[in-house]
Chains A and B, each alone.
Chain A
Amino acid sequence: MLKIDKWQGYLFIVLFLLGILITVQFRTQQNFLNDLTLQKTEDLVMMLKKLHDKRSGLEKELQELNRQTQIFQKDVSEGAVLAENLRHELKRLEIALGLVPVKGPGITITITTESPLVYLDLVDILNELWASGAEAIAINDQRITSWTKIYWDKNTFSLTINDQELLYPCTIKAIGDPGQLEAGLRLVGGVLDDLAIYKIYPVITREEEIEIPAAAPPVLYYISGST
């Protein structure tokens, strides 16, 4: 085992104290350099002047940023208003085109199985409903659009709407003023009178709220619309 000499112990203590002393001295010196009050006055005045300049530069920058922010906020809010108007217009056209399901007051017209209905009767009924202010119409939950095909299919011997056979009882729903819609159908010499000749007696019910589903969007090949 290594024997520690007496003097080695003393030397350790002395060097330890010396270390502390050097540290303290270094710190003091550091504080002295960092302490502004101990700097030359001219330097301090110069520093203050520079700080003033920096401050006014920053203030200008902030003003500029505020101005930009205001412009952006205006643009953003104007854009939001424009987008809102566009969405409103889109919704209106989607309702008109039958691309969204709709609801509202109206009437239902029910035609039972025994009726010798022909497709032109449906065309007449639809025309009368549109003339009476109908806003949306469906036949057996098929939304009527500009592209709805109503015809007599000679191959299947069936009244056909959009390639689907019309099943009975046939229910026509129309949204609009219920009174006006019914009155239109009941006009003297109108649709119901014509149907009665063929012993077709549709049942008309006024409804507070009916729902009409959406149609598929059209697929157009030949049209090229210009704006």
Chain B
Amino acid sequence: MTNLKWQLPLTLVFFISGILLAVTLRTISASDQNPWRQRNENLVAMIETQEKIIANLEKSIEENRAYLDRCQQELAAGKKELETLQERLRQLKVWAGLTEAKGPGIIVTLDDNREGAEAAQAANPTQFKPEDYLIHDKHLLYIINDLRVGGAEAISVNDQRIVTSSDIRCVGPMILVNTTRLAPPYTIKAIGNPQELMEILEQPESEYSILKMAGFPVSLEAKEEVVIPPYKGGYQFTYTEAKEE
């Protein structure tokens, strides 16, 4: 009886094993006997080719999308940089006098002293020096310097904007500002604190006061708004280059 104790489970095990083995063998033989196998193999080859192509396409698409993302970011960064640069350019153009300037300030007018000249000529023709009764380049130059000392932020003479490199000189009776011929009367406009600008020109030893005392027809007026046109000249550098730090 002790034998039967393990014989029963063993029989069961062998029985199941037998069934399993049979099924396995049937499966294997069935696959070999499939009549469409040859045709299916061609189809499968085609399917596999397609799958490979699709995998490659998907890889390309993924790479392209990543690249596009980078481009978009670069473009956005570029746009931001452009905005920064344009903002800076607007600022520099204002400083460089390339834009029309508006603001409080003063208007100075200067004219040749024709009455004084006629009177002097009539009184003493031999001693008469006509140039003593004309506005000269130096008068304009020194008044402009006074205005700069008074904190003028923009200056023009007869609508010629005065910039850093503006020069004022005379050729015969003609005054050239920015190499443009000007004729009297001269109107100097300056933007800045009107009070300070007036004070500096009205100092007793200033060029303006000297002209006034000499009898030239000059005037000085504070304005709430002065409009100064932009500099029309160029900023070209032939000899100068920025020193890299």
Residues of B within 8 A of A (CB): 5-6, 9-10, 13-14, 16-17, 20-21, 23-24, 27-28, 31, 34, 36-37, 39-41, 43-44, 46-47, 50-51, 53-54, 57-58, 60-61, 64-65, 67-68, 71-72, 74-75, 78-79, 81-82, 85-86, 88-90, 92-105, 138, 141-142, 145, 148-149, 151, 153-155, 162-169, 191-193, 235, 237-243, 245
Contacts and interface: CB of A to CB of B under 8 A. Distances in A.
Given A218-B95, A220-B95, A69 B40 contact: no
A17 to B, nearest CB: 7
Contact of B97 (A128, A146, A148): A146
Interface residues of A, number: 98
A167 interface: no
Contacts, number: 255
Contacts of B78: 76, 79-80, 83
B100 to A, nearest CB: 6
B5 A7 contact: yes
B71 A79 contact: no
Contacts of B81: 83
Interface of A: 7, 10-11, 14-15, 17-18, 21-22, 24-25, 28-29, 32, 35-41, 44-45, 47-48, 51-52, 54-55, 58-59, 61-62, 65-66, 68-69, 72-73, 75-76, 79-80, 82-83, 86-87, 89-106, 119-120, 123-124, 127-128, 130-131, 134-136, 144-151, 175-177, 211, 217-218, 220-227
B192 A222 contact: yes
